[in-house]
Structure 1
Amino acid sequence: MKITINVDCTPEEVRKTMGLPDVTELNDQLIEAMKDRMANGFSPEEMDKLMRTWIAGTGTSIGEMQKAFFSMMGSGSKD
């Protein structure tokens, strides 16, 4: 026997029901900070740290990412 229950509720209602904190304000602040940094540019040190953080999640080395990037750049059409 298989029983299916569908619950129609908003993400906010689910968060409150499960007792999770409301991080909307924190998220908004982080988004604004990221927009400011992107508008004003990153320092080379910040960009290096950001790329290393992103790449660490993929299980790929920076050298492998560079090879893949340059390979993609070289394989584009030359119209």
Structure 2
Amino acid sequence: MKFTVNIDCTPAEARAFFGMPDVEPMNKMIVDEMTRRAKDNLDTLADPERFMAQWMTMSGKGMEQFQNMMGTAMGAGAKKK
């Protein structure tokens, strides 16, 4: 025997029913901080000279970590095909 139950509720109601935490305040805080940082750096992105200067201040270790991260991402993408 097979039966289906459809429940019409919001995501917040479903989280409350299953006892999951309400993450909306934390999500709002993160989005607000990302928005603030994006606005603060908007002038840097518009000025190529400042943008490149910011990239060049990366230490050798930071650049190496960035290259490793990109290499890992490309390797993962190549394996999926």
Q: Percent identity?
A: 33
Return the alpha-carbon distance in structure 2 between the equivalents of residues 22 and 15 of structure 1.
7
- CA RMSD, aligned part only? 3.2
Question: Which amino acid in the other structure matches residue 10 of structure 1?
Answer: T
Which structure is higher in helix share? 2
> Which residue of structure 1 aligns with residue 22 of structure 2?
22
Structure exhibiting the larger radius of gyration computed from Cα positions: 2
What is the CA deviation profile of residues 17-76 of structure 1, one whole-angstrom value per residue up to 9, with x for unaligned ones? 10011111111010000001111118645xx7xxx5xx67xx524xxxxxxxxxxxxxxx
With normalisation by structure 1, the TM-score equals: 0.53
**For 2:8 and 2:40, how far apart are their aligned partners in 1?**
42
Amino acid at match of 1:23: V
Pairing 1:37–2:37 present: yes
How many residue pairs get aligned? The number is: 55
Corresponding residue for 2:7?
7
Q: Which runs of 5+ in 1 are unaligned?
A: 62-79
- Offset at residue 3 of structure 1 (A): 1.4
Unaligned runs of 5+ in 2: 45-53, 75-81
For 1:9, give the aligned amino acid: C
Cα distance in 1 for residues equivalent to 2:24 and 2:8: 21
Scaled by the length of structure 2, the TM-score of the pair is: 0.52
CA distance in 2, matches of 1:28, 1:12: 15
Query: SS of the counterpart of 1:30?
Result: helix
